[in-house]
Structure 1
Amino acid sequence: MSEPVIIAVPKGRILEEALPLLARVGIVPEPAFVDKNSRALRFSTNRPDIDIIRVRAFDVATFVAHGAAQLGIVGSDVLMEFDYSELYAPVDLGIGGCRISVAEPEDMAAKDDPRGWSHVRIATKYPHITAKHFAARGVQAECVKLNGAMELAPKLDLAPRIVDLVSSGRTLKENGLVEVEVIAEVTSRLIVNRAAFKTRVGEVVPLVDAFRRAVEDQAA
């Protein structure tokens, strides 16, 4: 028997929405997967030919791009940031909806006009997306790379503005920030390692088709 196909899934909010989708595809992880006390990272499923690994969202793309996992579920924000040529994203799963936005303190936004920017200093975990977005507008972006707690940057004078994922906007509001520009809308995608799509076609293609049908059935 060949090695199981490995599907990489992200920790956090997307995972909660991904579990019902996986169930519709016919993939149910072992009980330890939903055990909050478990420190395991690789899990078996009800299918002996499929295992699941649970990693950080940014790492999903890396595991799949380098062939450590054959498929994955990840936000389009991660795909935009890393732009791995080894990845194929055949299905928009329609989950994990949010947006990448520029935000700044409320008092600054009240007198600020993004159309007049020529240089910006921004704290973000998306330096590639940020620089590319502003370069297209002829604005020089100085990016301060952070992996979290972005909302602290303006308060502590690290950077006056941030670029981050926004869902409800509650976190921004509680930290005195407001959105001033939306860079991109984000949803989660099924991603596939391009080499695996060719070398394990008999295993990978049926899974891609199953995910596509599950999304279409849910939308119907």
Structure 2
Amino acid sequence: MQMSEKLVLALPKGRILGEVMPLVNKAGIIPEAAFDDPKSRQLEFKTNIDNLTIIRVRAFDAATFVAFGAAQIGVVGNDVLQEFGYDDLYAPLDLNIGHCRLSLAMPVDADEVDPKEWSHIRVATKYPNLTRCYYASRGVQAECIKLNGAMELAPSLGLCNRIVDLVSTGSTLKANNLKEVEVLTDITSRLVISRPAFKTRPKEINYWIDRFKEALKDA
């Protein structure tokens, strides 16, 4: 399909990239060789589709690039969608990849008390908005300490007694003497669209939505 304007697909780095690329390829998108070269410092990659390029960015940034129109299509976890709540993101398709959960965890020897007895707590997390909403629904004011990694160190070093973080197998929690207390939300990755792009370029955007739907059928 020929496109008159540049179309940018934002993909997340890390584990999800390995899961999403088979779908991207089945949708008919093949990136240039540099995309698979670990020594390459490129950030944007040409593909076999005229005017369609791929950017490889952090998971949180993929949502931002699409929400602000720098990319028109992206792959984003619904944890990120809920955390930021961008109005200009439309998520038409669950890609059924990136399965994990966002959970509250504490030291294994800590006792969770009735939320009615709490007045104020401190939580380390990469998801302050989701965490505040979780506790607010229980009538508790949460002080969220924003960390971007090594969340499991927070309790052992006395920063706080609770963390909210992504959990897949739970092995990292166990290795750091932590236990999963409650799941805030289950997570999968979604195909996301820039709403302004969807309004101005509906034919192109719908074409790629349909291509990813077909790719999912063959997955």
The partner residue of 1:94 within 85, 91, 96 is 96
Q: Which moved more, 1:45-54 or 1:189-198?
A: 45-54
In the TM superposition, what whole-angstrom CA distance separates every residue of 1:121-169 from its partner, at most 9, and x where no partner exists?
A: 1000100000001111112211111111111111111111100000111
The partner residue of 2:76 within 74, 90, 96 is 74
- Is 1:139 aligned to residue 140 of structure 2? yes
Rounded to whole Å, the distance in 1 between the matches of 2:152 and 2:116 is 23
The normalised TM-score by structure 1 is: 0.94
Rounded to whole Å, the distance in 2 between the matches of 1:146 and 1:138 is 24
Contact 2:116 2:139 in 1 (8 A): no
In the TM superposition, what whole-angstrom CA distance separates every residue of 1:52-82 from its partner, at most 9, and x where no partner exists?
A: 0001000001100000000000110000000
Query: Which residue is equivalent to 2:198?
Result: 197
Rounded to whole Å, the distance in 2 between the matches of 1:113 and 1:39 is 49
**Identical positions, percent:** 58
The partner residue of 1:23 within 22, 25, 28 is 25
Give SS of 1:95's match. coil
Rounded to whole Å, the distance in 1 between the matches of 2:23 and 2:82 is 23
Rounded to whole Å, the distance in 1 between the matches of 2:32 and 2:12 is 16
1:174 is displaced (CA, Å) by 1.0
The normalised TM-score by structure 2 is: 0.95
Q: Which runs of 5+ in 1 are unaligned?
A: none
1:11 is displaced (CA, Å) by 0.3
Give SS of 1:27's match. coil
Give SS of 2:109's match. helix
Question: What is the letter of the counterpart of residue 185 of structure 1?
Answer: D
How do residues 6-17 of structure 1 correspond to structure 2 at under 5 angstroms? 6-17=8-19
Rounded to whole Å, the distance in 1 between the matches of 2:112 and 2:90 is 40
Equivalenced residues, count: 216
Rounded to whole Å, the distance in 1 between the matches of 2:163 and 2:116 is 17
Q: Check 1:117–1:71 CA distance in 2 against 1; reply closer, same or farther (3 A cut).
A: farther
Q: Which runs of 5+ in 2 are unaligned?
A: none
Question: What is the letter of the counterpart of residue 23 of structure 1?
Answer: N
